């Protein structure tokens, strides 16, 4: 029979991690300090390992403690989500569903799916947060989000993460009306005199943009304005002579009314793949299942 951990002990351990000491955890849980100490001692005896060492600055987690802390955080998020689910049911609302993603992937995938969800569920609660790639996997593991919208097919996901590609979108040089004379296709080698707005976060999108400069055998501009805000990037390009590189779908609204223009980049020999990451074999909520079906449709 598999080793079973008392969920109450895991909650107590999570409070110790959150508060940084046994005494602080006892105050947060409104129980006595000896009770917290006894619970932690029983948990350590159960798993056969020390979870943390006590130091002057508070607790220092062992490797086993770090592994268990992730599960404690996930349990806390699960319990918090359960209460929110009950509140939503009482109000006749489906959800809430909490998702995260990088700005470009969210803009490209989520808006078309929202209308489908409205037709299917009527009232629903959906919470969306933007985060860099490096944070989204850990948020999935901790149960803070159920789905992560990301650039896909860049690297093999970890064994506990499943990845689904849902769309492909070509990169383009995005310019404002001040660059009417630029041709419909151009090499980055011919743009050395232009000023740029480029991504800041060291994620998949940034690596793909950097790869185009490498393919053109030219360095990335040192004086580029760096921003991960798509709204700010497009606004700057629209109102100044700066240019940027974006997937076409990300700038679709501005392209459709002519305030921005997309130019083919000769070195863009690949398309951006975008999709969703989730925990492997996760049991999805009805709203998450409906969202995935809407995205696949």
pLDDT score at 56: 73
pLDDT score at 92: 62
pLDDT score at 94: 66
pLDDT score at 3: 64
Structural domains in the chain plus CATH codes: 7-83 (1.10.10.10), 93-166+274-296 (3.40.190.10), 167-273 (3.40.190.290)
What pTM did the predictor assign?
0.67
pLDDT score at 143: 84
pLDDT score at 68: 87
Phi–psi pair at 118, nearest 5 degrees: -65, -40
pLDDT score at 60: 86
pLDDT score at 91: 62
For the chain (297 residues), the mean pLDDT of every run of 10, in chain order, is: 75 87 87 88 87 79 86 77 68 77 91 88 87 89 91 89 93 94 93 91 83 90 90 95 94 94 90 92 87 90
pLDDT score at 1: 46
């Amino acid at each position: 029979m598999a080793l079973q951990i008392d969920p109450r002990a895991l909650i107590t351990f999570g409070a110790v991690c959150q508060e940084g000491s046994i005494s602080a955890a006892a105050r947060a849980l409104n129980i006595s300090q000896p009770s917290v100490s006894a619970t932690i001692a029983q948990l350590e005896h159960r798993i056969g390992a020390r979870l943390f060492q006590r130091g002057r600055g508070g607790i220092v987690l062992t490797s086993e403690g770090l592994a268990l802390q992730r599960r404690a955080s996930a349990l806390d998020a699960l319990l918090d989500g359960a209460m929110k689910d009950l509140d939503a049911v009482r109000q006749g609302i489906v959800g809430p569903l909490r998702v995260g993603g990088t700005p470009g992937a969210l803009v490209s995938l989520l808006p078309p799916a929202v209308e489908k969800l409205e037709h299917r569920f009527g009232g629903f609660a959906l919470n969306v947060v933007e985060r860099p790639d490096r944070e989204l996997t850990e948020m999935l593991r901790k149960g803070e989000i159920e789905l992560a919208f990301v650039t896909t097919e860049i690297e093999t996901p970890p064994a506990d993460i499943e990845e689904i590609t849902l769309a492909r979108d070509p990169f383009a040089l995005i310019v404002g009306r001040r660059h009417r004379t630029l041709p419909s296709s151009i090499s980055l080698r011919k743009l050395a005199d232009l000023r740029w707005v480029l991504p800041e976060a060291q994620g998949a999108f940034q690596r793909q943009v950097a790869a185009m400069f490498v393919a053109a055998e030219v360095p990335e501009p040192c004086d580029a304005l760096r921003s991960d805000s798509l709204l700010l990037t497009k606004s700057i390009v629209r109102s100044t002579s700066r240019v940027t590189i974006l997937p076409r779908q990300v700038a679709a609204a501005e392209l459709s009314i002519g305030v921005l223009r997309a130019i083919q980049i000769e070195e863009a020999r690949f398309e951006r793949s975008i999709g969703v990451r989730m925990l492997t074999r996760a049991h999805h909520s009805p709203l998450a299942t409906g969202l995935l079906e809407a995205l696949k449709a």
